[in-house]
Amino acid sequence: MSSPSSFQHSQQSLLHHHHHHLHSLSHTLLQTESNNMVKFSKQFEGQLIPEWKHAFVDYWQLKKDLKKLYLLKNDNNPAAATTAATAKAATTLLSSIKKLSIFCHQQRDHGPIHVHKKLASSASKGDMYETELLDQFADTTAAKEFFSCLDFQLNKVNQFYKTKESEFMERGDSLKKQLEILIDLKSAIQHRRQTGDIAPDSKEDSSISYTISCAEESVKDKTEQEQSPENINDELEKTELAFSDSPRSEEMENSTRSKSLDKKWRSVSGRVISFQGKNIKVNIPLTTPSRTFSAISHLFREDLANSKKCNEGTKLHIKKTRLHHAEKMIKGAFVELYKGLGFLKTYRHLNMLAFIKILKKFDKVTDKQVLPIYLKVVESSYFNSSDKVIKLADEVEELFIKNFAEEDKRKAMKYLKPKQRKESHGITFFVGLFTGCFIALLIGYVIMAHIMGMYKRQPFSLYMETVYPILSMFSLMFLHFFLYGCNIFAWRKTRINYSFIFELSATKELKYRDVFLICTTSMTAVIGVMFVHLALLSKGYSYTQVQVIPGLLLLFFLLLLVCPFNIYYRSSRYRFIRVMRNIAFSPLYKVVMLDFFMADQLCSQVPMLRNLEYMACYYITGSYKTQNYNYCMNAKHYRDLAYAVSFLPYYWRAMQCARRWFDEGQTSHLVNLGKYVSAMLAAGAKVAYEKDKAKGVGWLCLVVIMSSGATVYQVYWDFVKDWGLLQMNSKNPWLRNDLMLRRKTVYYFSMGLNFILRLAWLQTVLHSTFGHVDSRVTGLFLAALEVIRRGLWNFFRLENEHLNNAGKFRAVNPVPLPFDEIDEVD
């Protein structure tokens, strides 16, 4: 591996870099000046890192202070602002910037301000700046407020930059050590092959043995610096070697797990290996069921081994495949580090541009030459003068190209700087085309169904029993998907970084236009098939002849979901299948944000799942040939399955809460588990009440009690925990301090609407219908209301998650690392 010293930059390259950086700032500023259609404040807001927004220069507050100064000046002298002065300030902008450089030593003897450099109280904060106003200002009150705010912003930017720089430098050093260990282990395996210690065709050829010290239990437990994130990329899940059982550092503070349980499972996730004079701890993750069961069995083997002679040592085989997994993890960590360094470069560039812009505006308002003086201070400040990030980024790039890209820079850049997929205008065209087709087919279908009386309330309706569930199922599914597209659109407009929260790949994530295209094409196909099926019935065809058509439609969508060909968003389809697998096997898989978010969606799709269950029974048992639909409704095993399907999503979600409590140790996950248990009980009571023909008063009272308790529990959790609202001491009454939407009435309206839609279960008690329409249509309408409620919930849930990330300035994922080097084993 190349040493860090081989990547040091010369003084000449640094000088060239700073001059090039200054020239790019000037060029960017001139471009913004020439484009009058877009204000700089909008460009600034659109380019900053959302999670670091509060760490950027508060450009809007500086504009407010400058506006006060402008109004005060106009009140004293209305004719002060002339076009000549404005033109002069604009023409001298570029010349003023070009004269500035951190290597320029020219000083101004006189000027309107003088900036003092002071040492901070602590070394971590660095230097502090304070501006002194000289006598040139006629009225200094408003000017003092402006420069006081400006000094505060400069000090804030310097402190944040230094903190993040230190964090990334520490991460970089850790990654370089990880890479050294990995290279040494791979070299050892290669050495065994070359020396012929083992036969080439031996099964042990893919592994290397080390001695595990039995004294590892006496090693003092140290706090792990590399924490396992809650949101781990799906691709990294498949290749992880290390799954640290400890949560993120901010979550560890609230952990209530007992020390004995933590110590027991820490011994599962890490083994101490003596290798080349080093004691290396290999963290073994529990992300998959096979690893979980393997870890549990390892506990029994460990206890058995400890009961025997411990001094003889134990042999551990680190297989080559595991080293490959470790390599994948380190590779992903390098990618995240490079991304963070890129964010820090953007942070420096945008803040520098903001300082230039606001100082230029100040010169225009006051007719003073403050820009050359203060900007020299900004340029020499830490966030602009430090080159550690640039060096580390170059070093990471070189290491990645050498060790993970086979010396191919273009291949490395696909990982380090992935290009986002461009949005095609063709997608917009087809969305409009299929939307028109869907509306036309829907109108035709509704008219034909009304003429044939398919949806009228009647004791016997073969169509409503056998065909309508297909339409209802697809309608609920794609309504939910459509609302997800609306969520993506709203998240993008409000700068909520949903891609980072969900760990989505920038090159493969679905845009809102893609979601709308999937919805419109799918529903056009569904309504088209339903229209053809209904037209054949109107022509005199029997149900036996045409009943296979809805079944073929369902089969087509199932085959499309698992289609191995790279068509129709294959990566997203397969990701959906993996997420569903993780949910179905809860709690054996580690729970990430996307997993429990999708499980929450399933909790709102219980009617859709019951329709799917019924149609599967109807077609698998061959009832569609005999039109004996009562078989699937009266069979005992089907009725038992109906109970299971009704509360299965809540069970999955409860198991996810249990797994998160086990991994993170927070009691709030147990409280959340209780919410889903109450929902399971309420759902079971409703199913039992619907199946009871007598509909006794006892079942009715049980439904009311269970559903009321679950509703209160859920509403409280929605508002307080998921949305972060109802904060008593908030500056926004009954909301929270930080809001992504400007209008507070939207939050109050959403809270009221969420509460009303949570009461949809009352239909089970009231049995309300729409005139002579079949009760199943009413059921579909109420189920659609629950889906709409979930779509509303999704926006505020991710808004709260985004604000949590922003509050902790978390913009990159802290990928766990596979190796820990221990200094000493007693």
Res 517 pLDDT > 90:
yes
Tokens of 551: 């079944």
Please list the residues that pair with 272 across neighbouring strands: 281
Please list the residues that pair with 209 across neighbouring strands: 317
Q: What is the pLDDT of residue 687?
A: 78
Query: What b-and-e string marks burial along 626-639, b requiring 16 or more CB atoms within 10 Å of the CB?
Result: eeebeebeeeeeee
Q: What is the pLDDT of residue 464?
A: 86
Could you read off the pLDDT of 630-665 as tens digits, one per residue? 888 787 788 788 788 888 999 999 999 999 999 888
Q: Percent of the chain having pLDDT more than 90? A: 43
Between 197 and 634, residue with greater pLDDT:
634
Please tell me the distance from the alpha carbon of residue 359 to that of residue 293, in angstroms, as a whole number.
63
Q: What is the pLDDT of residue 143?
A: 85
Give the torsion sign (CA, 729, 733, 734, 738): negative
Res 270 pLDDT > 50:
yes
Q: What is the pLDDT of residue 288?
A: 65
Picking from 812, 7, 16, the residue whose alpha carbon sits closest to that of residue 396 is 7
Q: What is the pLDDT of residue 301?
A: 55
Could you read off the pLDDT of 122-148 as tens digits, one per residue? 655 678 898 888 866 655 788 888 999
CB 638 within 8 A of CB 615: no
Res 534 pLDDT > 80:
yes
Could you read off the pLDDT of 658-692 as tens digits, one per residue? 999 998 889 999 999 999 999 988 888 887 777 76
Angstrom distances, CA of residue 376 to CA of 20, 270, 438, 488: 16, 52, 62, 43
pLDDT class of 382 with cuts at 50, 70, 90:
very high
In terms of DSSP H, where are the helices of 196-276? 234-239, 249-252, 259-269
Picking from 159, 153, 167, the residue whose alpha carbon sits closest to that of residue 352 is 153
Could you read off the pLDDT of 740-752 as tens digits, one per residue? 998 999 999 999 9
Least reliable range by pLDDT among 123-137, 149-163, 401-415, 762-776:
762-776
